[in-house]
Structure 1
Amino acid sequence: MKKGSLIAVLLCFFVFVQAQSLRKCSTMEGLEAEKILNPERAADLTRIETFTQKWIQENGPAKEQMTVITIPVVVHVLYLPGVPQSNISEAQILSQIDVLNEDYRRLNADTTLTPDVFEPFAADAEFEFCMAQQDPNGLPTTGITRTPTTVTSFNTLTNDAKFDATGGYNAWPADDYLNIWVVPGLDDGLTLGYAQFPGGADATDGVVIGYRYFGRVGNLEVPYDEGRTTTHEVGHWLNLRHIWGDDGGSCSQDDLVNDTPRSGDAYYGCPTGSPNTCTDSPTDYPDMFMNYMDYCNDNCLNIFTNGQKQRMRALFSPGGARYSITQSVGCVPVEQGANDAVLVELLEPVGTGNCTTVEPVITVQNLGTEGLFYFIVEYNFTGGPVQTYEWTGSINSLGSAQITLPPINTVATGIIHNLHINIISPNGLPDFNPDDNEDTYTFATISGGSALPFFEGFEPGTNFNSWFDSNPDGLITFELTNTAAATGTSSVFMNNFIYNASGATDEFVLPHVNLNVSNPYLHFDIAYALIQAAGASDVLQVLISTDCGATYTNIYTKAGEPLSTASPTGASFVPTSGQWRTESVSLAAYQGVRNAVLKFKQIHGTGNNLYIDNLNITDGAVGIAQPDAQQPAALRLYPNPAKEQAILQYYAAQPQPGNALIVVTDLSGRTLQTFDLSLQAGSNITVLPLQNLANGMYLVTLTNQNGVVATQKITVLR
């Protein structure tokens, strides 16, 4: 088919055939976002298309047998710890690889369902897919990474699944691997999967699929339970377009492939007969709804054509956008020994914000073919005595574990230290490859934490889950929630309503801060209710440490009525916008402390839910202005953090004629910029200039003519 404009990221929205409107690809939205973020992208796609058409012209039909191209695949599983089925099995992953190999070699069992009229066009595309056998560092791998996440539904427009910082996982090098992310959900369940076309940013290159639509065994959702969602999305990754051309039913565009008939629009379900929505010449063929690049049910898709094969294979010729993958060694196995322990990395201490006594935390991987049950760690500061630690436990072959070593004292502060670590005697035997067992790491101890102001609003992208927390009973503890927030959409939440463990304690610890300012203050928003007025309240405390967490002093305690912001309720408490209160705690007694540690602690009683939002440590008793209305409309800012500009996207669920007012303020409420945005129903996009703002965090507030307020935070970081 032909299409006048191509986009870098195609967001493919598959929907169920129910009594509701069908949602299509966000083509124009994605295109406009890409043009703003990368003005060169359109030119790159044009160059790829010119190369593709030239290669097709020079190489003729793709019917004859060609060299099979093998593509190394890494599957990044992002799973919810509380939803075990989202941590899909290896069997489910391998079943998807089987489907890809069958569909791209035309070995699928349902080739007999291809109509006779299209059989002459059917192609063995001659692509095969293997689970990566070695990782980017040349180490053996299963080709599977597993990462816990708190994100239940990833945003496709901002590619959040593809970055550690937004709850996802960073891509392996796109020159060598096909990255596939398997996620809990996309766009609140409206999206099955999406892919990036060739030539885009390496960091976002690949395919993203919801776990219920990946593979053909496991906890899958009918009728997308035979792995064809991934076949379809990999087709986009290989430069294929939708077979109907995304032209809104006008038959004016096609998919840039000569042997796929024009089609008026996408097909859903499993059509019967030979529908024909467009007139072709010189031969008028029916619509090829069974093509993998249409939207039919999985059991109704069964064909790639020779023309599509040409488009895909052009990418892998010398000079093509994916030629480098033909040189990849990702599918080449690495020699392994029985006992091989590897020192992967030092997790703590790192950087400069460390106390004088440190507990090294390392990651150890078992690259041996046998399980790893024992090894010895030798570690010391340069010139100091060597300490040893004997580890026992269990690490499966190719698995890894985090190991916390006994404390070691650096003695001096404010200087750079070299920590040498060596792993010996795996399972009490010689190591197969001792060259990867030791390393020296550099870090510094300082007498000061992060400079003020410190702010955390717990919005998407927060690093709250990396903060230290204490949950002695292993049950309910502080967690992120989007059920309620003082501002924005998220807060920290303690589900006391269902937590029956009176006297239990739970804590979370803030990053170290430098209180060397004239008048340090802590501000935070809380919402809390009792279940019964006479019930035993939960207790909230704030504590501070001046010795890197060795000891703490209580600086705030509230319980019962003084803690409450709403009347008692027998239902699970979810605060309204008027049921929040800002607390301010003077830290003047600790003025000048350069490495202060603050932590929040709850002692459980029999009360209701507790919410905390907008932690703000400032120089002075100034809080953060709160919007005076809830936020039913979606306001998104990306990238975030940003440098010179960001995209502001506002989704208006209902028509809202007129202009909206956009105001940018600092955390003290001082207005820095104002703009107007002309609104229409649906998605509204504009560029938010940031070049005149210094590094820091800001609030962006949008108010429409109906008085509806939406607020998001953005960080400027250059």
Structure 2
Amino acid sequence: MLENYMDYSSDNCMNTFTLNQKSRAKAVLASSTLRGQLSSASNLFSTGLSGSSISCSPSAAFDVSRTLACVGDLIDLFDQSAFQSAVSYLWEVKNTQTGALQTFMSANPQFTLSQDGLYQVKLSILNGQGSDSETKTNLLTIRPAGGTTHSPYFYAGMEDPLPNSIWTVEGNGDNKNWARSTNVKQTGNASYYHPNFNVSNASDGDALIAGPIALSSANSLTLKFAHAFARKTVMDDDQLKVYVSTDCGASWSLVRITPAFQLGTSALVPSSPYVPQASDWKETTVMLSAYKNNPHLMIKFEMVSGGGNNLYMDDVRLTYGVTQDEVSQAQWVLMPNPSHGMAVLAVNHPNHGMEQVRILNLNGQLLHQMDWKGPRMALPVLPAGSYVIQLTGSGTREHLRWVQLH
């Protein structure tokens, strides 16, 4: 018996040949109609093993240094195409909203963009053997360089489809990215959720990114957000990580990690996608006073899957602590809040200094303005939604959040 290897056998004798089997194997390898073709000159040439080059059409592929940037930031495109002979390049970077187009003809161009928005990138390559192209839609998200001002503070109710002027997403490649849900919300008409139910444990997370947000001078800076989550088992180790960036996403600083057992309800939901009840929502507060003096800030929520169920987020707020000349001895009460129809605004201190009451929507648009005639004042009935009550006076300013339900 001889020891060898038979690739057509899967049992315990796959390495055992008889002398006749040895002769048969050699005959197959020598046959011009069987495996003898493997070492023929024509087959070696066709498979690239003859030492000679093969002429073939190019295959386009590329990558980018960053998918999120601000106006004026440097962006690099990297050619990763496959080809035998030299190719010519045509890059097309197009704003999908305005149609503005930039073109480049080098292998690895570096460039900046002067308009914020979403950009499509297309690479076309050509040589004597043929041509190919690759297009990536909405590859680049470009934000305003100085950030966007939100009055009286930043609030995001997760109402619009992703991506939008506030939010963008970055995935880890498994196509299980953050998305909008109109079936689940804490307030308003929608929330954002991560479809974590169908995700296995992952070392890389999926990110939901806001900003840059233009900041105002303040004594303190606080991030608050609502979330709802359920584990499948007590062993799940999902994490929600919160990062901030002061350089438009070029680098990130980790400011909070919330583990699975703190992220949501204690009840386990093992066998079906989690849909939260109204009582399941929690609120997390992150102090960001170390970043209060930066001109703008980006916020990133990264869900790292560890076996758990879906995660929902709503009502993200970035609020400022008032300066000393805005501190009031008055205590304002808005009741009921949330309210069904009419609500009443009241104050318990005679020297409150307030002169006007302004009602704003979450985009900072003024809806109503009234002179204060306290100590109690009925507020107008508004459509269902979230509002900001702005109280202004001589040297004072305060803000209250108001939720109107119907």
Structure ID, larger Rg: 2
- TM-score by length of structure 1 reads 0.30
Q: State the structure with bigger RCO (CA 8 A, min sep 6), 1 or 2.
A: 2
- Relative to its length, the structure with more strand (as a share) is 2
